[in-house]
Structure 1
Amino acid sequence: MSAVALDTAPTPVPRPTPGISLTRSRRDQTDLLPPAALGLLVSLHRAIEPERQARLAARRERQAYFDGGGLPDFRSDTRAIREGHWQVAPLPAALRDRRVEITGPVDPKMVINALNSGAKVYMADFEDSTSPTWDNLLIGQRALIGAVRGDLSFTADSGKHYALKPREQQAVLLVRPRGWHLDEKHVRIDGQPMAGGLFDLALFAFHNARALTEQDRGPYFYLPKLQSMEEAALWETALSHIEATLGLPHGQMKVTVLIETLPAVFEMHEILYALRERIVGLNCGRWDYIFSYLKTFRRHRDKVLPERSQVTMTQPFLKAYSELLIQTCHRRGAHAMGGMAAQIPIADDEAANEQAMARVRADKLREVSAGHDGTWVAHPALIPIARAIFDQHMPAPNQHGVPRDDVQVSRDDLIRPSTGTITRGGFEGSVEVCVRYLAAWLDGNGCVPIHWLMEDAATAEISRTQLWQWLHTPGLHLTDGTAIDANLFAATLRNLPAKLGDRAALPGGERIEQAIALLDQLTRADDLAEFLTLPAYALID
């Protein structure tokens, strides 16, 4: 018998890519971050980072203007864009009907269940519903590679096995990278942290763009938290850079933009124009929009909002926002997507569950009647409810033929606050949501069911920002007459652990004290932190 020659040569060690360093590692990350991918990240960072920093500086300057009493308004220098006759590029076939979309984080089980859910679109979320630990990010990227390839599966600790349905039965995949304000601290290029959103988007495109192009499925993205036309133009530069590097046709990568900041609602035409060769729609990101309203007017005593449960889409300033978005999109040939239903089924209380589902039905009927082309849900059980309403009232794939020429929205309509109250339950509920969500986020979970609502960073931001504003606006009282001050806040924090009961049953229960300390620090600070996730990010990994 002849001997079999063995290759005893050592495995070659990949040569370092100049300019980039990774400060965390996983045993399985080499194939996710090969030299070609690292090279793309380096070239993209160098092309985009100076302008990203300029845009973030512009945000700070604009906020200082608002803090000094200034008000947002439509831009005079872009009037020609708003009044011009132009449309966005034709929509791809896979995105013409988006009547129900489901969103959620990027862990393998969620990816499989969402793609199999019966929704038209699944938005895989690296942003508000993902705690950006290095493990979460890379596990999410690997799960999406498997989903695009078609062989993703998952077996739970219980032994239950999850696998994808045939591709023709799956939702269309869209990916939401992080916003411009978030760094990826584990990827440093030329000594600087890379933009988290560029890391998310570029790595996904590197591994999946070619396959999705061949499937006529994209790649497609949701872009979050833009505040201006210039920020949209920066995404256009980044997307074009990636396409050129990967050899994709210009405009192959399509995007939907979330209008979830107050400044952006005054620049919707301009944002569509800046991305006109690839944008397919705008979305009413209602929870972040409310957060942005609070943050924009944090120093305006005449624009303090009531507790979150009273700030619904029927309030005049939110109704004006959603209807103006519909009118703008349909004028330009783009989708006007509705907002999130955050309810989840209440399994052990039939009456309470029916009340919750009735609120979902009313919300979706409002959206389709107003002219929206689709909507979001947070839980698969809500898909049939939303789909039935849109099927009944929107038999066509979309409602682009509903121009909403009747909508007349002024600057004052968009900034007029809603009236209402702050109850003890509303105040204490805001504290509880913040602490429980923060604890879970610090523990690696960015999507948390609390009191039969699916909370993510956007909803937690509302509660956190309201607490800061209520405590820093003199003269506010609860409906029972109690002054809203540091003493009330301290007592509420002090009493919360006993109210929560068994921490072992809570996501991130071991992080409750850390979450309380962080919320206490942020709420008492003289200045409102721009985003909750910025100081929290320093406490993970």
Structure 2
Amino acid sequence: MVAGVQIHSKEAEKAQAHILTEDALKFVAALHRTFETTRQHLLTAREAVQQRLDAGVPLDFPAETAHIRADPSWQCAAPAPGLEDRRVEITGPTDRKMVINALNSGTKTFMADFEDASSPTFANMLNGQVNLFDAIRRQIDFEQNGKQYKLVDKPAVLIVRPRGWHLDEPRVTVDNVPVSGSIFDFALYFFHNAKELIARGVGPYFYLPKMEHYLEARLWNDIFNFAQSYIGLPRGTIRGTVLIETLPAAFQMEEILFELRDHSSGLNCGRWDYIFSFIKRRRADKTAILPDRKDVTMESPFMDAYVRLLIQTCHKRKVAAMGGMSAQIPIKGDPKANEIAMAKVRADKLREVTNGHDGTWIAHPLINKIAMDVFNEYMLGPNQYHVRREDVKVAAADLLNSKVTGKITAEGIRGNVATALAYSAAWLGGNGCIPLHNLMEDAATAEITRVQLWQYVRYGSRIVDSGEVVTAELVDRLVDELAPTLKSPLVKEQNLDIVARYLKKQVRQEWPSEFLTSDLMGYLAVADGCPPQWQRSVL
């Protein structure tokens, strides 16, 4: 339909009239042609940063932007309509039932996730756009198995998380180049819904994931300005909350806010991806080996420093400092275990609100009451911008302090193998978040397990229980032992076979891959009928 634009999947036919319209694809093409070169340069710059870190050059706050950090005069935009009070936000994928349940959950906002909680099959990506389009217009209601799913009169405010800068959308090419997953997700949602959202009293709001440099925030800001001009909206209409979920970004929080200041609605502690990035970016530093995943808590020195700095930074610039996600979910059929899990959730939310956060994340509607009660008790106004945290003094060394209390245990190793296998296999089957061992696992938590296993093998870590060294052969044995036990309706045998080979290969690499989702995307593209030449990410 549009010169230079090709769709490489039959799934497009189902959404073409609704979402992949000629005008929408022209917008995607315009964004791609304007900004793809910049995206590629920024991704190359990430590689250069990693090479410096591998050579022993430590991360620090950028000298060239010291004037931005020192200038007290600038602030971010005032909260946009519907974002004045964000004390509890629910997150989840964009399937139709989830969208309704999340919008009806009683939380203040719903982050509809095209990224870590979604497996990017083309059907998932397109159906998600359809579901959000329908939800905004209050035409999403449906019936299933005799049960009615219907939106309440005042649903949560919608925020959308597109995919990160590193991910391609191989099923769509412009001028024979795959488009950015970020641009594809943003463009379709914004083009179809921005004016409708404004007419309904809110606006086009986004969560921006996995950035590693303030210039990546500048790219988003440039895209926002371009998009607003393209459809005739005033600058500042779009709002974006940035997830600080990479180690380099923690050293550039003020710069990221400064780049997005006219469009900023705050920063979020993306804790699980942050742990993943901490290990990955310090891959050449054997002093940065972390213990069992369960022992890397928000009280760990590097995590505590990052949280305190984020709150101080946001409130200095009068913008929201959002907390993160506790992994616990309700446990059915075991009241005692459920009580213990919910106590952990309550303690996590209490820590956040007393630290000064302006809101928190949950993954399940049944947790809303716990989180809401805690924030209602301790946060009487719509936010805590007045909690300036001027007591906080965070140095570069604090953000790099890896002295975490804990051990590397046999149980932890087995848990990492099981989670990496089960989640990755479910992802290949089209599911982006799964309950496993009473925790909600998504791409970020699976990434922690993958890079921890690599780290333990690379540096010959010992298991405290037995003194055994973690080797690639040990991982092989555990993969072979555990994979057959993980089969389920979500975890198919053929996908387990793929990820078993993948994990065995990963722990033998000199360096871990940047993202398992990039590595495995080719399998989804093949299943969607995408020709091999457009699959930059095929293994």
Q: TM-score range by the shorter chain?
A: over 0.9
Aligned counterparts of 1:74 and 1:480: Cα–Cα separation in 2: 41
Distance 1:526 1:233 in 2: 33
1:87 aligns with 2:87: no
Residue pairs, 1:359-508, within 5 angstroms? 359-417=344-402, 418-500=404-486, 503-508=487-492
1:286 aligns with 2:271: yes
C-alpha displacement of 1:505: 4.4
Pairwise CA distance, 1:165: 1.0
Match for residue 169 of structure 2 among 184, 209, 224: 184
Q: Secondary structure at the match of 1:351?
A: helix
In 1, distance between residues paired with 2:465 and 2:64? 45
Matched residues in 1 for 2:57 and 2:512: separation?
A: 17
Shift of 1:498: 4.4
3-state SS of the aligned residue for 1:406?
Answer: coil
Equivalent residue letter for 1:342: A
Question: Secondary structure of 2:477's match?
Answer: helix
| Residue pair 2:426, 2:432 contacting (<8 A) in 1 also | yes
**Separation of aligned partners in 1, 2:334 and 2:490:** 20
Alpha-carbon separation, structure 2, partners of 1:226 and 1:193: 20
Letter in 2 for 1:204: Y
Query: What root-mean-square deviation, in Å, do the aligned CA atoms of Structure 1 and Structure 2 show?
Result: 1.1
Structure 1: gaps of 5 or more residues: 1-15
Instruction: Give, in whole Å, the separation in 2 of the partners of 1:468 and 1:414.
Output: 22
3-state DSSP class of the match of 2:357? coil
Structure-2 residue corresponding to 1:155:
143
The counterpart of 1:511, out of the listed 478, 487, 495, is 495
**Residues 79-478 of structure 1: matches in 2 within 5 Å?**
79-85=66-72, 86-156=74-144, 158-166=145-153, 169-417=154-402, 418-478=404-464
Percent identity over the alignment is 48
C-alpha separation in 1, matches of 2:484 and 2:243: 39
Offset, 1:516 = 1.1
Size of the aligned set, in residue pairs, is: 521
Q: Is the 8 A contact 2:81 2:203 kept in 1?
A: no
Q: How many Å separate the matches in 1 of 2:207 and 2:461?
A: 41
Give the conservation status (yes or no) of the 8 Å contact 1:448–1:507. Answer: no
| Alignment partners' CA distance in 2, 1:112 and 1:510 | 32
* Paired position in structure 2 for 1:7: none
TM-score if structure 1 supplies the norm length?
0.95
Q: Distance in 2 between matches of 1:316 and 1:223?
A: 26
User: What secondary structure sits across from 1:95 in the alignment?
Assistant: coil
Larger Rg: 1
SS in 2 for 1:257: strand
Counterpart amino acid of residue 55 in structure 2? G
Q: For residue 40 of structure 1, what is the aligned residue in structure 2? A: 27
Find the aligned partners of 1:67 and 1:255 in 2 and give their Cα distance.
32
Matched residue SS, 1:388: helix
Q: CA deviation at 1:509?
A: 4.9
C-alpha deviations, 1:472-491, integer Å up to 9, x for none? 11353343211111221111
How far did residue 410 of structure 1 move?
A: 0.5
Q: CA deviation at 1:90?
A: 1.2
Which range moved further: 507-516 or 325-334?
507-516
Q: Match for 1:525 among 509, 521, 538? A: 509
1:79-130 Cα offsets, whole Å, 9 max, x none, are: 0000102100111131010000000000000000000000101000000011
What is the alpha-carbon distance in structure 2 between the residues aligned to residue 536 and residue 241 of structure 1?
32
**What are the ranges of 5 or more consecutive residues in structure 2 without an aligned counterpart?**
528-539
Give, in angstroms, the shift of residue 510 of structure 1. Answer: 4.6
CA contact (8 A) 1:178 1:224 kept: yes
SS in structure 2 of the partner of residue 497 of structure 1: helix
Aligned partners of 1:412, 1:497: CA distance in 2, in Å? Answer: 40
